[in-house]
Amino acid sequence: EREYLEQAVQSCLDQNVEDSEIIIADDGSDDGSIELIKELAQRHPKKIRYIIHDRSDVVPGKIIPPIRVSNGIKRALAIAKGRYCQMLSGDDFFYPGSFTADAVKFLDENPEYSAYVGGHAIYYPDRPGSAYWAFYPKSLFWTGDYVHISAFVYRRELFEKGGFLPRF
């Protein structure tokens, strides 16, 4: 995901949420992401922290990539400091706008809600005109249908109480 990582990080920075932090969790790939992650953290030392996956367990057949990704999410959530969490894969990006700020405002004003869900666009650069929006009503998530993880902003306390983390 190295070729998309800088755009992903910039889309997080562009969300314009006060006191936000970006935690980049390397998943153990060998695509040169580590060097770029460190460079991005140097450019934005007050915003970006990172976790580098231990390469000793990146043995073919021993730990599969989805488990490494899940472990990266868990490790990032364990060090997150904010009230809210939002996740983004390295090959995805947030559309310019106020989605994250809107979510934070909504959750601040509605303490009875645990998460804010929006929509996401899917775009394939090699297929012109392929972008489309997918919006999800609340009921879709709870029925078990697929919703991309970046469509949510969660209260961090969900992870602290242990109910969510085992599902990753």
pLDDT, one tens digit per residue, over 140-151 is: 445 555 566 777
Name the DSSP class of 60: T
Return the structure tokens found at 95: 């559309």
- Residue (of 108, 109, 113) closest to 82 by Cα position: 108
Q: How many Å apart are CA 59 and CA 25, to the nearest integer? A: 18
Q: Which residues of the chain have pLDDT under 50?
A: 132-141, 168
pTM for this structure? 0.77
Return the structure tokens found at 166: 């085992």
What is residue 18's predicted lDDT score, i.e. its pLDDT? 82
Q: In this structure, how many other beta carbons lie within 10 angstroms of the beta carbon of residue 153?
A: 22
Q: How many Å apart are CA 62 and CA 54, to the nearest integer? A: 13
What is residue 136's predicted lDDT score, i.e. its pLDDT? 44
